[in-house]
Amino acid sequence: MEYYKGLEENRKWIFLGLIILSIFDIISTQIGLNSGGFEQNAVMIPFVDNPVMFSFIKTVAIIFLILFLEGLIWLLKKYNKYGKMAQTIIFIGLICGFVYTYVIVSNNVIGLLSKPT
Protein backbone atom coordinates (compact mmCIF):
# COMPACT_ATOMS: atom_id res chain seq x y z
CA MET A 1 0.00 0.00 0.00
CA GLU A 2 1.05 3.57 -0.60
CA TYR A 3 0.32 5.05 2.83
CA TYR A 4 3.63 6.86 2.86
CA LYS A 5 2.92 8.89 -0.28
CA GLY A 6 -0.41 10.05 1.14
CA LEU A 7 1.27 10.94 4.40
CA GLU A 8 4.06 12.83 2.67
CA GLU A 9 1.59 14.82 0.56
CA ASN A 10 -0.92 15.49 3.32
CA ARG A 11 1.21 15.97 6.42
CA LYS A 12 0.95 19.75 6.17
CA TRP A 13 -2.84 19.38 6.51
CA ILE A 14 -2.43 17.09 9.52
CA PHE A 15 -0.08 19.61 11.14
CA LEU A 16 -2.29 22.57 10.24
CA GLY A 17 -5.29 20.75 11.72
CA LEU A 18 -3.39 20.12 14.96
CA ILE A 19 -2.32 23.79 15.13
CA ILE A 20 -5.89 25.01 14.57
CA LEU A 21 -7.23 22.61 17.20
CA SER A 22 -4.53 23.79 19.62
CA ILE A 23 -5.58 27.41 19.10
CA PHE A 24 -9.22 26.49 19.70
CA ASP A 25 -8.13 24.58 22.83
CA ILE A 26 -6.41 27.68 24.22
CA ILE A 27 -9.39 29.92 23.42
CA SER A 28 -12.04 27.49 24.68
CA THR A 29 -10.08 26.86 27.89
CA GLN A 30 -9.98 30.60 28.59
CA ILE A 31 -13.72 30.87 27.85
CA GLY A 32 -14.43 27.94 30.17
CA LEU A 33 -12.27 29.42 32.93
CA ASN A 34 -13.88 32.85 32.56
CA SER A 35 -17.30 31.20 32.82
CA GLY A 36 -16.49 29.61 36.17
CA GLY A 37 -15.00 26.35 34.95
CA PHE A 38 -11.69 24.94 36.09
CA GLU A 39 -8.65 23.36 34.47
CA GLN A 40 -8.71 19.56 34.72
CA ASN A 41 -5.20 18.97 33.38
CA ALA A 42 -3.00 18.73 36.48
CA VAL A 43 0.08 19.85 34.53
CA MET A 44 -1.63 23.07 33.39
CA ILE A 45 -3.33 24.05 36.67
CA PRO A 46 -0.39 26.17 37.91
CA PHE A 47 -0.48 28.22 34.70
CA VAL A 48 -4.19 28.98 34.23
CA ASP A 49 -3.91 32.34 36.00
CA ASN A 50 -1.22 33.48 33.56
CA PRO A 51 -2.70 33.42 30.02
CA VAL A 52 0.66 34.20 28.39
CA MET A 53 2.47 31.32 30.09
CA PHE A 54 -0.55 29.05 29.58
CA SER A 55 -0.58 29.81 25.83
CA PHE A 56 3.21 29.46 25.62
CA ILE A 57 3.18 25.99 27.20
CA LYS A 58 0.32 24.85 24.95
CA THR A 59 2.20 26.19 21.91
CA VAL A 60 5.43 24.44 22.90
CA ALA A 61 3.52 21.19 23.41
CA ILE A 62 2.01 21.29 19.91
CA ILE A 63 5.42 22.16 18.42
CA PHE A 64 6.94 19.11 20.14
CA LEU A 65 4.09 16.92 18.87
CA ILE A 66 4.61 18.14 15.31
CA LEU A 67 8.38 17.66 15.57
CA PHE A 68 7.80 14.14 16.91
CA LEU A 69 5.51 13.27 13.99
CA GLU A 70 7.95 14.90 11.55
CA GLY A 71 10.75 12.79 13.05
CA LEU A 72 8.72 9.64 12.50
CA ILE A 73 8.14 10.67 8.88
CA TRP A 74 11.90 11.25 8.48
CA LEU A 75 12.57 7.76 9.84
CA LEU A 76 10.08 6.38 7.33
CA LYS A 77 11.96 7.97 4.48
CA LYS A 78 15.39 6.99 5.79
CA TYR A 79 14.65 3.33 6.38
CA ASN A 80 12.01 2.81 3.68
CA LYS A 81 9.51 1.40 6.16
CA TYR A 82 6.31 2.54 4.54
CA GLY A 83 3.42 0.29 5.56
CA LYS A 84 2.78 -0.06 9.29
CA MET A 85 4.83 2.97 10.37
CA ALA A 86 2.96 5.31 8.03
CA GLN A 87 -0.33 3.91 9.30
CA THR A 88 0.86 4.52 12.87
CA ILE A 89 1.74 8.16 12.17
CA ILE A 90 -1.62 8.78 10.54
CA PHE A 91 -3.32 7.07 13.48
CA ILE A 92 -1.40 9.21 16.02
CA GLY A 93 -2.37 12.37 14.12
CA LEU A 94 -6.04 11.33 14.06
CA ILE A 95 -6.07 10.41 17.75
CA CYS A 96 -4.53 13.80 18.61
CA GLY A 97 -7.20 15.47 16.51
CA PHE A 98 -10.00 13.56 18.26
CA VAL A 99 -8.54 14.31 21.70
CA TYR A 100 -8.24 18.02 20.91
CA THR A 101 -11.80 18.07 19.56
CA TYR A 102 -13.06 16.40 22.74
CA VAL A 103 -11.18 18.91 24.92
CA ILE A 104 -12.55 21.88 22.96
CA VAL A 105 -16.13 20.61 23.15
CA SER A 106 -15.67 19.80 26.85
CA ASN A 107 -14.30 23.29 27.55
CA ASN A 108 -17.31 24.89 25.86
CA VAL A 109 -19.85 22.61 27.54
CA ILE A 110 -18.33 23.36 30.94
CA GLY A 111 -18.39 27.06 30.13
CA LEU A 112 -22.05 26.90 29.11
CA LEU A 113 -23.11 24.82 32.11
CA SER A 114 -21.20 27.06 34.52
CA LYS A 115 -22.99 30.25 33.48
CA PRO A 116 -25.40 31.55 36.09
CA THR A 117 -29.04 31.29 35.14
pTM above 0.85, yes or no: no
Q: Is the Cα dihedral 61, 105, 21, 5 positive or negative?
A: positive
Handedness of CA 95, 96, 102, 105 (dihedral sign): negative
Question: Which value, to the nearest 10 degrees, does the dihedral of the CA atoms of residues 87, 68, 28, 53 take?
Answer: 170
- Rounded-to-integer distance, Cα 32 and Cα 61, Å: 20
What DSSP state is assigned to residue 116? -
Which pLDDT tens digit goes with each residue over 65-110? Answer: 888 878 877 777 776 655 666 667 777 777 877 887 777 777 666 5
Residue type (1 letter), 45: I
